[in-house]
């Protein structure tokens, strides 16, 4: 998580520029929140169900490079690599989140506003506390911010909105992660395979739940 030393100074300069620029860009962005992109349509009532779809196939994606950087860092804090499975970004979870917030459906459009505002808040908070992009903070610094917003019921009043964002972002990260083959393996989903017969739970399961 530690940024490379050589990137520090230029990044600081860049950050200053970004804070100014993002304020301007976000003013423009706000106008489009809550409304789908003009040309975006849903997949309709007779989509080809046999097709393989990837984010961006059906409607244009939203996130800028800067937003993707923040989202990627946050995804990997929520789901880092461990001995059982890779980190969220390695499974392209950010692409899924981008597809989700770009979808022309009411629920996703509502989420779009929460996510985009939330990503902006993350950067503003990083700049305020540590003078760096969120993705460039040390793990400890990133946790300091996330710990304040990771559970809405216990969040301080000034962090409630950010905690609401974090909750949604975490939900979407799990959605993007555990629907993949690596996610199935991590969680122990071993179905979707043709069987000759269904044997019911094996003895070790019955024992585990106290039925034998």
Q: By CB under 8 A, name the binding residues for another protein.
A: 42-47, 49-50, 52-54, 57-58, 77-80, 82, 84-85, 96, 99-100, 103, 105-108, 146, 150-154, 167, 170-172, 174-176, 178-181, 183-184, 186-195, 197-202, 204-206, 208-211
CB of 91 to another protein, least distance (A): 9
Nearer to another protein, 10 or 44 (CB): 44
Nearer to another protein, 30 or 53 (CB): 53
CA neighbor of 75 nearest in space, from 96, 89, 90 = 89
CB of 109 to another protein, least distance (A): 11
CA neighbor of 58 nearest in space, from 103, 28, 14, 18 = 103
User: Whole-angstrom Cα distance, residue 119 to residue 136?
Assistant: 14
Tokens of 149: 């917003």
Q: What DSSP designation does 199 have?
A: -
The helices-and-strands tally (H runs, E runs) of the chain is: 8, 0
Nearer to another protein, 3 or 175 (CB): 175
CB of 146 to another protein, least distance (A): 6
Burial class (CB in 10 A: 0-12, 13-18, 19+), 194: exposed
CB of 11 to another protein, least distance (A): 25
Nearer to another protein, 28 or 209 (CB): 209
CB of 42 to another protein, least distance (A): 5
User: Whole-angstrom Cα distance, residue 44 to residue 165?
Assistant: 29
């Amino acid at each position: 998580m530690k940024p490379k030393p050589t990137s520090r100074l230029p990044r600081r300069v860049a950050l200053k520029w970004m804070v100014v620029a993002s304020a301007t860009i976000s003013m423009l962005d706000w106008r489009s929140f809550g409304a789908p992109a003009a040309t975006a349509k849903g997949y309709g009532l007779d989509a080809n169900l046999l097709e393989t779809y990837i984010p961006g196939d059906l409607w244009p994606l939203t996130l800028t490079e800067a937003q993707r950087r923040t989202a990627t860092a946050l995804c990997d804090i929520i789901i880092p690599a461990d001995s059982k499975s890779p980190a969220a970004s390695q499974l392209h979870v950010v692409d899924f989140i981008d597809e989700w917030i770009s979808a022309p459906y009411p629920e996703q459009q509502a989420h779009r506003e929460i996510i985009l505002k939330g990503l902006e808040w993350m950067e503003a908070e990083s700049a305020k506390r540590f003078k760096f992009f969120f993705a460039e903070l040390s793990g400890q610094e990133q946790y300091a911010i996330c710990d304040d917003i990771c559970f809405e019921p216990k969040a301080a009043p000034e962090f409630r909105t950010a905690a609401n964002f974090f909750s949604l972002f975490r939900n979407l990260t799990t959605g993007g992660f555990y629907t993949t083959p690596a996610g199935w393996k991590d969680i122990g989903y071993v179905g979707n395979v043709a069987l000759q017969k269904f044997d019911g739970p094996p003895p070790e399961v019955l024992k585990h739940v106290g039925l034998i």
